[in-house]
Amino acid sequence: VAAVASLVPNVWVEPSEILACSAGGVVSDLLAKGNSSDGVEFEIPMVFVAIFDSGRLTHFELFDPDQRPLALARFDELNTSDD
């Protein structure tokens, strides 16, 4: 983590579209943006699956944007919420 932080000291994540959600988790597009230590700007689109239990993150996976169907299927597999 320290090595990545030294290469990319300025990074933030912007969720862009919620693809699915329940009381137990979410699937969303997001965009990681920032500047490298050389000042080069970057944007990395991705899809994430997050599962929660009692308000705590218990599972997190990242997917390439073209893997949306796979991320949604994985969410269905992991999501045990009734909502």
So what's the pLDDT on residue 3? 64
Q: Which residues make Cβ contacts (< 8 Å) with residue 25, sequence separation at least 6?
A: 49, 50, 51, 52, 59, 75, 78, 79, 81
Record the pTM. Answer: 0.79
So what's the pLDDT on residue 12? 82
Q: pLDDT by residue for the chain (83 residues), tens digit each?
A: 566 567 777 788 888 899 999 999 999 999 988 888 788 888 889 999 999 999 899 999 999 999 999 999 999 999 976 55
